[in-house]
Amino acid sequence: MRKSVVLVVLAVLMLAVMPVLAQEPIDVRVWIAFTDAGRLGWAQERAAEFNELFPQYNVVVEGYANYEELFAATALASEQGSLPAVVQYFEVATQDARDSGYFRPIAEAIAGRTEINGLPVNLDDIIAPVREYYTLDGQFTSMPWNTSSAIFFSNMTILNAAGIDAAPATWADLDAACEAVMALENAPEYCWSFPNHGWFFEQWIAQQNEAFANNGNGRDERATEVTLNNPGALALMSFLDDQVAKGYLYYSGAQGGAAWATVDQAFSTQQIAMAAYSSSDTRIYTQFGVDNGYEVLASFLPYNQETGWTGNLIGGASLWLTTGLPTEVEDGALSFLLYIIQPEHAASWHQTTGYIAITNGAIELLESQGWFDENPNFRVASDQLSQSTVTPATSGALVGAFPSIRNVVTQAVDTVLLTDQDPAAVLDAASAEANVILGEYNLLSAPE
């Protein structure tokens, strides 16, 4: 009897002491919105390496099906007081993330340190348009990770046959190229296409240095109004309307995910000769040509020759550090974020996925390995971003309820392309509708 009591006491003591002896690692939970082996797998491999290098930490990466599901899980975790250390938010939810109160700016957490756990803090190495997008109130706020830009893919086999030897740089070039392509004896069904997603509208007006919202695109102060009816947007809509009227632009009418898929299908089967698309699919688009026997050239997104090219903005998502973490967890999370933007990791992320290499260090590394010489299409997006002039317009808008406002833009483009309505009137109506949404968002979510 007494013996067993002693044994139990010993066992309890052992259990209590063991973690101390074994230096139980600190859990750092990271939530991301990917579930595919390529991207979630990549993050989990980096976490495993990191945990081996820094045995005091145990980074656990969990994948959620999509951004919406991840946001809902984050809101719930916040209510229950069990936020993870790091959460991924996509770029247009930046203002929503900021207003949520769940997160702490990364610069504030770094607090001027030049290295954390021996990992150098070199945020200036991140290429400018990307760094600017996630710099709010002059403070570097969240860590960019998967970053892309809108670029242009041309089927050079068709273009060469039509006597065009370079990808179009401007809208006028595109129009001229289409005239030549459609005059071919075995012309494709249409000349070019793009997925009807609000992001392309944002890209084309940023190129003309037109802001999407007031108050410095929402970067000087909270945006209280969107300006969808600005001259750049009107020029864009008129251009697109004209392209449809001439039978050059193919608009499938598909919405949501299918909008992207119909462009893939039309480009791969050569029913169109050119497509505006996300650089995240550079690998897939290049492969279309290899599989079907034509040459695919990636180039900058064509711009309005009347206004010139100021720059393009980014797309993708960033990693946010949650607020109220114990110092040791926060340092662990910061170390992991710094770890994955080390040149070799940022480079491998680019090669695995097609998202751009976000640091100059990574770009130099890839250059020295000859990666871009072998895969010239892969450098277009980062070139387009690093050559962009950083202005409020090209930094990208910060607007509340941006995902909802994007749907308004998509509907406006849909209306212009499919009806005879005046683009200016459509844009005015869209602006008014979007401003009601923004007003309601600000009423409910802006700090009082």
**CA–CA separation, 188 vs 272, rounded Å?**
6
Query: Is residue 66 part of the contact set for other proteins (CB under 8 A)?
Result: no
Query: Is residue 403 part of the contact set for other proteins (CB under 8 A)?
Result: yes
Q: Could you tell me how many residues of this chain bind other proteins (CB under 8 A)?
A: 37
Query: Is residue 307 part of the contact set for other proteins (CB under 8 A)?
Result: no
Instruction: With beta carbons less than 8 A apart as the criterion, state whether 274 and 153 touch.
Output: yes
**CA–CA separation, 239 vs 200, rounded Å?**
14
Q: What kind and span of H or E run contains 272?
A: none
**CA–CA separation, 53 vs 59, rounded Å?**
11
Binding string, 260-299, against other proteins, x = CB under 8 A?
A: --x--xx--x-x----------------------------
Instruction: With beta carbons less than 8 A apart as the criterion, state whether 214 and 392 touch.
Output: no
Of 216-255, binders to other proteins (CB under 8 A) are: 250-255
Alpha helix segments (H runs only) across 112-221: 128-133, 156-161, 171-182, 198-207, 214-217
* 17, 66, 419, 432: which one binds other proteins (CB under 8 A): 419
Query: Is residue 352 part of the contact set for other proteins (CB under 8 A)?
Result: no
Query: Is residue 215 part of the contact set for other proteins (CB under 8 A)?
Result: no
Query: Is residue 259 part of the contact set for other proteins (CB under 8 A)?
Result: yes
Calculate helix-pair angle for 402-418, 231-245, nearest 10 degrees.
40
* 100, 135, 335, 388: which one binds other proteins (CB under 8 A): 100
Residue 18 or residue 418: which is nearer to other proteins going by CB? Answer: 418
Residue 356 or residue 438: which is nearer to other proteins going by CB? Answer: 438
Query: Is residue 95 part of the contact set for other proteins (CB under 8 A)?
Result: no
Separation in Å, CA 266 to CA 77, 175, 262, 273, 370:
43, 19, 6, 9, 32
Residue span binding other proteins (CB under 8 A) among the ranges 321-329, 340-348, 362-370, 439-447: 439-447
Query: Is residue 256 part of the contact set for other proteins (CB under 8 A)?
Result: yes
**CA–CA separation, 384 vs 169, rounded Å?**
12
289: closest CA among 181, 377, 356? 377
SS3 content of the chain, % helix, strand, coil (to 5): 55, 15, 30
CA dihedral 325, 222, 233, 391 (to 10 degrees): -70
CB of 200 to other proteins, least distance (A): 16
Residue 60 or residue 182: which is nearer to other proteins going by CB? Answer: 182
Q: For binding to other proteins (CB under 8 A), which residues are involved?
A: 68, 71-72, 75, 96, 100-101, 189, 250-256, 258-259, 262, 265-266, 269, 271, 401, 403-404, 407, 411, 414-415, 418-419, 437, 440-441, 443-445
